[in-house]
Amino acid sequence: MDVNDKIHAQLVKAGVRLAASLPDDWVNTLINKISAGNQIRHVSVGREAETIAVCAGAFFGGVRSVAIFGNTGLLTCTGEMATLCLRHAIPVFCIVSGRGSIDDHKVYQEVQGRRTIPLLQAYDYPFKILDKEEEIEDIPNAYEWHRLQKRPFILFLTKKLLGTNA
C-alpha cells in the first residue's frame, strides 16, 4: 500500500463519501485512485472554488467530503472560502499540494510557497503540513477536529511525503 493508498483509506475511514477536485501533478495520483474506486464519488470541477462549494453543499446533505487541489488554487479561492464558509460557519476539509516548498524548484510555484501560509493565518484557516507517512493515520482525527472548527481546514501534502519527481 503506497502513500496515496493510505491517504485514500484514511479518508474512507473518516467517513468521506464525496471528493471534488481540480488537478495538480502532486495530487493527481490521489485523485485518480479516488476516481477509480467505488467508495468515494468523484466530482471534477472547472475552478478550485467550486470544490469548496460542492463540499459545503454536501455538508447539508449529511455527506462527508473532501476538496483536493493544488496550492495555486488555494490562493485563488481563499476569498470565496471566506464569504461562503466563514460567513456561514461551514467546515470544508481540503487536501492541497504543498507547492513552493524548499524542495520544489518550479518557478511558477515560488510565490505560493512564500505567501500561502501567511494568507491562511490572516484568514484564520487552520492547517497542517503532512510530511511523515506515520501521520497519515491522523486523518480521521483531523477530520473530526475540522468539523469542530466550523471553517475550511487545509491538509498540505509535501513532496517528501508523496515522493514525487514533479
Partner 1 sequence: MKANECMQVLAKNRGDAVVVCALGMAANEWWAVTKSEDSFYMHGGMGLASTFALGLAIAIPDTPVWVINSDGGLCMNTGTLLTEAGQQQRNMKHFVVDNQCYQTVETMPMVNQDGADYTVMARGAGFQRAITIDNLADLDRKMPEIVAAPGPYFIRLRVEAEPDYQRTPPATYEGPELKYRFGRAMEKKLGIKVFGPRGF
Would you tell me which residues interact with partner 1 (CB under 8 A)? 18, 20, 41, 43-47, 49-50, 52-63, 65, 80, 82-84, 87-91, 147-148, 150
C-alpha cell at 146: 475540522
DSSP state of 40: S
Residues in CB range of 112: below 8 A, 6 or more apart: 71, 72, 74, 75, 99, 100
DSSP H or E segment with residue 155? strand 152-157
CB 149 within 8 A of CB 91: yes
Of 41 and 160, which CB lies nearer to partner 1 in the complex structure?
A: 41
Of 62 and 118, which CB lies nearer to partner 1 in the complex structure?
A: 62
Of 1 and 89, which CB lies nearer to partner 1 in the complex structure?
A: 89
Shortest separation between residue 106's beta carbon and partner 1, angstroms: 25
Shortest separation between residue 39's beta carbon and partner 1, angstroms: 15
For helices 28-36 and 3-13, what crossing angle results, to 10°?
60
Shortest separation between residue 74's beta carbon and partner 1, angstroms: 16
Of 23 and 57, which CB lies nearer to partner 1 in the complex structure?
A: 57
Rounded Cα distance between 74 and 27, Å, is 13
Shortest separation between residue 54's beta carbon and partner 1, angstroms: 4
Shortest separation between residue 11's beta carbon and partner 1, angstroms: 16
Rounded Cα distance between 127 and 147, Å, is 13
Of 87 and 105, which CB lies nearer to partner 1 in the complex structure?
A: 87
